Structure 1
Amino acid sequence: MATDTRFDGPGPDAQYLQALQERRLMLQHCEDCAAVRFPPALVCRACGSPRLQWRASPGLGSVYSLTTVRDRAGDYNVALVDLEGGARMMSRVEDVAPDAVRIGQRVRARIVAGEEPFVVFAPAEGDAP
């Protein structure tokens, strides 16, 4: 009986975090339907295929939706960003006032290093409000 190699080694979340630790934004691409997958998973959300391959993302995208969170420590935004290629990520847009971020704004991903690195966005060059 053949074993499922998807369960060999670290899982998709661990692979994603490892890539971030190496300062690379990697996204899963389905080899059967060409969908781009985020967050990482064992099967494609669009077609159910287990044939997902990791590919580097340039991290360019646009703000799909956003809200400003008011907090005693300071306001910040929460944004849904459509990355080129089809994946959508929730994060925040930095290097600009929370109220200045706008839907459709071009942004670029930046990896914040640490024990558990994460992705934030900043206005793409030439697109500051």
Structure 2
Amino acid sequence: MAVRPMVNRDNAYFWDGTLAGELRLQRCNACQALRHPPGPACPDCGALDRGHVVASGLGTVYSYVIHRHPPVPGKELPILLAVIDLDEGLRMVGEIVDLPESELAIGLRVQVDFAPVDDELSLPIWRKAD
């Protein structure tokens, strides 16, 4: 059984998006600043009026780690984990799939995909961009 994310009013739009096949980013409706991870108030202007935009789903590997130990419930090791520089200017941590670990490199172009867990949860994953 996989560990499930904590869904709350600050991030429900994100998880609703993954179910719809969209990578959603929080945007301040007052100053238009993007942010991730989501939160209740804009760090730029302090406004509580937040919305979201749908990201392109494209990015570049900024940094990565190959997780070999300890075991993770519901996952096969090794797990390729990366910090992704999204084309929108934010960074996001994600799992890289279907890639030999020898090909994982800083600067690799990646695109988001979604891995359904069940009817209520789909997780964003990353693949080498076409």
Q: State the TM-score bracket (shorter-chain normalisation).
A: 0.7 to 0.9
Secondary structure of 1:110's aligned partner: strand
Task: Structure 2: give runs of 5+ residues left out of the alignment.
Answer: 1-7
Decide which structure has greater strand share: 2
For 1:30-49, list aligned pairs within 5 A: 30-49=28-47
Structure 1 residue runs of 4+, over 6 Å off?
Answer: none
Secondary structure of 1:107's aligned partner: strand
* TM score, norm. by length of structure 1: 0.78
Q: Which residue of 1 aligns with 2:58?
A: 60
What is the number of residues matched between the two proteins? 116
Q: Which residue of 1 aligns with 2:125?
A: 120
What value does the CA root-mean-square deviation take over the aligned residues?
A: 1.9
Structure with larger Rg: 1
- After superposition, the C-alpha distances for 1:101-126 in whole angstroms (9 at most, x for unaligned) are 1011110011111232111111111x
Distance 2:106 2:28 in 1: 28
* TM score, norm. by length of structure 2: 0.77
For 1:50-89, list aligned pairs within 5 A: 50-71=48-69, 73-89=76-92
Q: Which amino acid aligns with 1:79?
A: A
Q: Which residue of 2 aligns with 1:94?
A: 97
Task: Structure 1: give runs of 5+ residues left out of the alignment.
Answer: 1-9
